Amino acid sequence: MKKEQIVLCYLNALGAMAYSLIAPLFPPLFKERGIENIICSYIIAIISLTNIIAAIYCSHLSQKFGQLNLLLFCVIGQTFSTFFYGFIVFITNETLFIIAGFANRLFHGFCTGIVNVASFAITSQINKGKELETATGYMALSWGAGLTVGPTIIGILFDLGGYSLPFIIVGFITFSGVYYTYYILYKADLEKLERDSKIEENINNTEINNENDNNRESYMSVLKYPPTIYLALCLIIELNTLAFYVPTLVNYLKDSFDISTSKASLFFLLSTFGYVLCTQVINTITNLFNNFKLIFYGLFFGAFCCLFIAPMGILPHSYIFILIGIFCEGFTQGIINIPTFIELTNVGKK
C-alpha cells in the first residue's frame, strides 16, 4: 500500500475514534447535571446534518482553497474540537454548556465530513482500477478500526483520569494527523494531481454549460435527483437511530445492571465488530441484492435490532439481548452505509 494511502486511512481512523468518544461519556454527564436526555440525543445526532452539508460543499471549498489546504484545516479543526470536548465539563452555566455542546458538535461534524470526503477523493486520485477497490476497502476498514479503538481508550482513560482525560489524549493523537498530512501528503506532490483534476473538471463543466445554454447549476442541484434525497434520508435515519438509543442505553445499563460508564463503553465494541464483519462480506451480499433493496432491508433489520437494545418490557431483563442487538446494529450500519455511499458516488458521476 502506498504511504499516502496509509496516511489517508490513518486520518479516517482518527475521525472515527474522536467521533465515538462522545456517545458513552455525554449521557452520564447530562444526567448528573439534571439536563433532559433528549437534549443529549440531539447533540449526538446533529453530526449527521453537518456531515451532509460538508459533503455537498466539499467540492466547492476544495476548488476555492485547495484540496490539501482544506484537508489540513479540517484535521486541525478536529484536533481542537476534540480538546474542547474535554474542557466543556468546566462550563457551569447550563445554557452555555448546552450551546457549547451543540456548537462544538456542529464544527466537529463538519470537519469530520470534509476529512472523509476529501480523503476518499484523494484515494480515487492516487489509485486506479483494482488498486482503487482495495484502497476503498481499507478506508472502510480504517473507520471501523477507529470506532474500535475509541471505546477501548474510553474504558481505560476514564478510570485513570475521569471525563476529560480521554478527550485530551485523543486530541494529541489526532494532532499527529496534522503532521502526517503536511509532511507526507504535501510532499507526495498531490497538488499536481489536484491541478490536473481541476483542469479535467473545468473541461467537463464547460461542456455541460454549453449544452445548457451556459446556465450554471448550483451545488444543491444534486438534490433534484430522487435517489439523492432517498439516500440522504437513509443516512439521517441510520445515524440518528444510533444517536438516540446510545444516551438511553448508557444510563439504562448503569441504573439496571450497575455497569459503569467505562465498562458500558466497551459494549459498543460489539457494534464495531459487526460493522467490520460487514465490510468483509458486503461484496457477497451486494451480488444477491441491488444496493437500494439492500439499504431498505438494512433499515428494516436495524429497526428490529433496536427492540433488543432498548429497555423493552417484553424482553427478559438481561443484557445478553442488548449485546446481541448492538452487534447486529453494527452489522446493519455497514449494510446501510456502504451501499449508500456507492450510490451517492454514482449519482455524483451522473
* CA 259 – CA 261 distance, rounded (Å): 7
Contact 144, 13 (CB under 8 A): no
What lies within 8 Å, CB to CB, of 98 at 6+ separation is: 35, 39, 43
| pLDDT for residue 239 | 64
- Our CA angle for 173, 165, 10, nearest 5°, is 20
C-alpha cell at position 78: 478536529
| Distance (Å, whole) CA 309 – CA 223 | 34
**CA 340/CA 320 separation, integer angstroms:** 30
pTM for this entry: 0.72
CA distances from 319 to 115, 258, 259, 272, 309 (A): 36, 11, 10, 18, 9
Please report the domains of the chain, with CATH numbers, ordered by start residue: 3-349 (1.20.1250.20)
- Each residue's pLDDT expressed in tens, for the chain with a length of 350 residues: 677 788 888 888 888 787 777 777 788 888 888 888 778 878 877 777 777 777 777 777 877 887 788 888 888 999 999 899 889 889 989 899 999 999 998 898 888 888 887 887 788 777 777 777 677 777 777 877 777 677 677 777 877 888 888 888 888 988 888 888 777 776 665 555 555 555 455 545 545 444 444 434 444 455 555 566 666 666 666 666 666 666 677 777 777 788 777 777 777 778 778 877 887 787 777 777 777 788 888 888 887 877 777 666 566 667 788 888 888 888 887 787 777 766 665 555 55
143-159 b/e (C-beta count within 10 Å ≥ 16 → b): bbbbbbbbbbbbbebbe
Q: What pLDDT is recorded for position 208?
A: 43
- pLDDT of 99 reads 93
Task: Give me the pLDDT at residue 227, please.
Answer: 63
